[in-house]
Amino acid sequence: MNKTILLERLQNERDSFELLLNRIGFARQLTMKGVSGSMTVKDLLADVLSHEQFIADRLSEILHGQMYSPSASFTALENFQREYGYPDYESPLAEKDKPHPPVTEFYKNIGFDEIVSEELVVYANILEAVQKLTHHQCLDHDLYHRVAEHTYRPYRRTSSAIHRWLKKIASESK
């Protein structure tokens, strides 16, 4: 993979994700529970935002010559969460592929529009950072994989949960 392919794939996935969110928002179903367990679309978007913030911060560190090391102990994992406000998603001790309750709890009293605004800024930061990085930096830090892991893969997981939920709602209303 190269940066052009990554950015193109990221934008295509992003467009699909935004179209789905707009569809849900138009139907005013953003805060209905049950999308994934007791979670709402808002909760899932907060989780997407935390993944994006995680990778945006790692990209910024790389651009500034700083090194990130995944948390190797539960104490380090807790300290990371306390310092950054989101989990150390790349720690081998972190749970993978499911929303983290502290993240959704943090965003519980924050409005959906504010989460969307923050998420758009973080997404723009990711795009800007990826464009600034060299191909060798991307390879050295496995960024083609890592950026995908914290951007469009969460978009896909969230979109799948929303689509299942929409089918369930449609079948219940018949």
Q: What is the CATH number of the domain that holds 19?
A: 1.20.120.450
Inside any domain, residue 26: yes
What is the domain count for the chain?
A: 1
What is the rounded distance in angstroms from the CA atom of residue 107 to the CA atom of residue 109?
6
Say if pTM beats, i.e. exceeds, 0.85.
yes
Inside any domain, residue 90: no
Higher pLDDT, 78 or 97: 78
Give per-residue pLDDT as tens, 91-130: 999 888 778 888 888 888 898 889 989 999 999 999 999 9
Give pLDDT, residue 6.
94
Inside any domain, residue 71: no
Inside any domain, residue 153: yes
Query: What is the chain's mean pLDDT, rounded?
Result: 91
What is the rounded distance in angstroms from the CA atom of residue 160 to the CA atom of residue 48?
13
Domain limits for position 143? 3-64+99-172
Token pair 């052009």: residue: 4
Give pLDDT, residue 168.
86
Inside any domain, residue 75: no
Best CA proximity match to 158, nearest among 2, 6, 9, 40: 40
Give per-residue pLDDT as tens, 33-48: 888 888 888 899 999 9
3-state SS of the chain: helix, strand, coil percent to 5? 70, 0, 30
Inside any domain, residue 60: yes
Inside any domain, residue 119: yes
Best CA proximity match to 62, nearest among 130, 149, 11: 130
Inside any domain, residue 107: yes
Q: How confident is the model at residue 27 (pLDDT cuts 50, 70, 90)?
A: low
